[in-house]
Amino acid sequence: MITFDGVRKVFPDGTVAVDNLDLELPTGKITVFVGPSGCGKTTSLRMINRMIEPTSGRILIDGDDVTSQDDALLRRRIGYVIQHAGLFPHRTIAENIATVPHLNGVNKKKARAVALELMDRVGLDESMADRYPVQLSGGQQQRVGVARALAADPPVMLMDEPFSAVDPIVREVLQAEFLRIQGELGKTIALVTHDIDEAIKIGDMVAVFRQGGHLAQFATPQELLERPANDFVADFVGRDRGFRSLSFDTAAALEVDDLFSVATGGEVLVLDGAGHPHGWTGPGLGSTSNPTPLGGTFVTGDSLRLVTDLAISSPVGIAVRVDETGRADGVLRHDSLVRQLNARRRRRAEAESTS
């Protein structure tokens, strides 16, 4: 657990970067620091490994004050990943990853073995071990950056905008892999981003900062979207937060209609012999042999957000549910979906007011 205890940072020019921050980052979880630029999120992160010293207050890792330890030794026990990876251009990939073991006096052969194992873990081919950073793509460099931070098997990792410098498609892949690796390793992670979507996607807990170094809200992503503490947070998480909060519930509770109820609207779901849905036919739609595509199907484990998206984007306003074998087992009209979502919201509001 990382504890901020009344931490304040005033820079020499008088700027208050962090103001009286109290925060507890749970062990084994990802805590995301998010906020607009100049809100003190990066300063807060960098105070954990003493790249910046607090003006007052204490920062504790598992109860030990970070200032009670030698700064270089402290940092070797804390993994650090930054935006452009910050790889050493004059060292090979394997040498880059082995940096901290090397600093700790681990012999070359062993350090290299660690490096190769980590390359595998972050999804880099072993053949890249002896290349230099310039020979890698941005996404690959970022993987090396993560591997390098993991090399000494630190219990704590600090990540400063680790996915911001790559394009959106690579970012999604890196985020997904990062979550997979974290699932295996369970590090205590503090991650800074300016991207609220990223914060909600990968954070177990999210700390929203506002200008002047104030903590605006510290909560789970779902709570943040559904119950923003104030106008600043509501504004920061964005206008479509209602839609995005649907990500946190599955379609399991949704009531679907019988397949044959559809015919009343004139459109017909085309199934193949095995019962797999193929598309729509009917007035203004494709023929039975060449039906209009569905645009996708959902299973009970999918999120409400996906189901809503399917219903809205479907050519006939109907989302199709399938079972594990891919056979169609129900349909959901968009008006029925809206009714059910409204009912869900009412139930929640009631539950909250009575508790």
Partner 1 sequence: MDYIANNVDLILAALGQHVVLAIVPVILGVIIALPLGYLAVRYRWLYHPLINVSGLLYAIPSLALFVVLPGIIGTRILSPINIIAALTIYTVALMVRVVANGLNSVDPTITQAASAMGYRRVRRLFGVELPIALPVILAGLRVAAVSNVSLVSVGALIGVGGLGALFTRGLQLGYIDPIIVGIVLSVLLAVLCDVIIVLVQRQLTPWSRIGGRS
Closer by beta carbon to partner 1, 72 or else 169: 72
Tell me, what amino acid is at 67? T
Task: For the CB of residue 158, give the shortest distance to partner 1 in the complex, in Å.
Answer: 8
Q: List the interface residues with partner 1, window 149-168 (CB under 8 A).
A: 158
Task: For the CB of residue 163, give the shortest distance to partner 1 in the complex, in Å.
Answer: 16
Task: For the CB of residue 41, give the shortest distance to partner 1 in the complex, in Å.
Answer: 16
Asked if 194 is part of the footprint of partner 1 (rule: CB under 8 A), the reply reads no
Name residue, tokens 């193929």: 278
Only one of the segments 10-18, 55-63, 83-91, 198-206 lies at the binding site for partner 1 (rule: CB under 8 A); that segment is 83-91
**Would you state the structure tokens that stand for residue 354, as one six-digit string?**
């009575």
Task: For the CB of residue 335, give the shortest distance to partner 1 in the complex, in Å.
Answer: 53
Neighbours of 266 (CB within 10 A): 12
Q: What is the DSSP letter of 63?
A: T
Nearest C-alpha neighbor of 178 from the set 114, 122, 124: 122
Which of 7, 9, 34, 80 binds partner 1 (CB under 8 A)? It is 80
CA distance 77 to 216: 30
Asked if 169 is part of the footprint of partner 1 (rule: CB under 8 A), the reply reads no
**Alpha helices per DSSP H over 186-216:** 196-202
Which residues, 6 or more positions from 111, have their beta carbon under 8 angstroms from its beta carbon? 98, 101, 102
Q: List the interface residues with partner 1, window 45-74 (CB under 8 A).
A: 49, 51, 72-74
Cα distances from 115 to residues 12, 243, 260, in angstroms, run: 40, 42, 58
Binding residues for partner 1, how many (CB under 8 A)?
28
Asked if 103 is part of the footprint of partner 1 (rule: CB under 8 A), the reply reads yes
Closer by beta carbon to partner 1, 80 or else 178: 80
Closer by beta carbon to partner 1, 88 or else 260: 88
Asked if 90 is part of the footprint of partner 1 (rule: CB under 8 A), the reply reads yes
Asked if 271 is part of the footprint of partner 1 (rule: CB under 8 A), the reply reads no
Which of 6, 26, 88, 352 binds partner 1 (CB under 8 A)? It is 88
CA distance 56 to 64: 16
CA distance 326 to 282: 23
Task: For the CB of residue 44, give the shortest distance to partner 1 in the complex, in Å.
Answer: 15
Give me the 20-49 binding string for partner 1, x by CB under 8 A, dash otherwise. -----------------------------x
Q: Check the CA dihedral 71-72-73-76 and report its sign.
A: positive
Only one of the segments 128-136, 204-212, 280-288, 328-336 lies at the binding site for partner 1 (rule: CB under 8 A); that segment is 128-136
Cα distances from 56 to residues 6, 7, 21, 67, 106, in angstroms, run: 7, 6, 10, 11, 36
Closer by beta carbon to partner 1, 37 or else 353: 37
Asked if 75 is part of the footprint of partner 1 (rule: CB under 8 A), the reply reads yes
CA distance 167 to 175: 12
> Angle at the Cα of 117 (from 112 to 123), degrees rounded to 5?
125
Neighbours of 110 (CB within 10 A): 11
Residues forming beta bridges with residue 5, ordered by sequence position: 58
Task: For the CB of residue 353, give the shortest distance to partner 1 in the complex, in Å.
Answer: 48
Chain residues binding partner 1 by CB under 8 A are 49, 51, 72-76, 78, 80, 82-84, 86-92, 99-100, 103, 131-132, 134-135, 148, 158
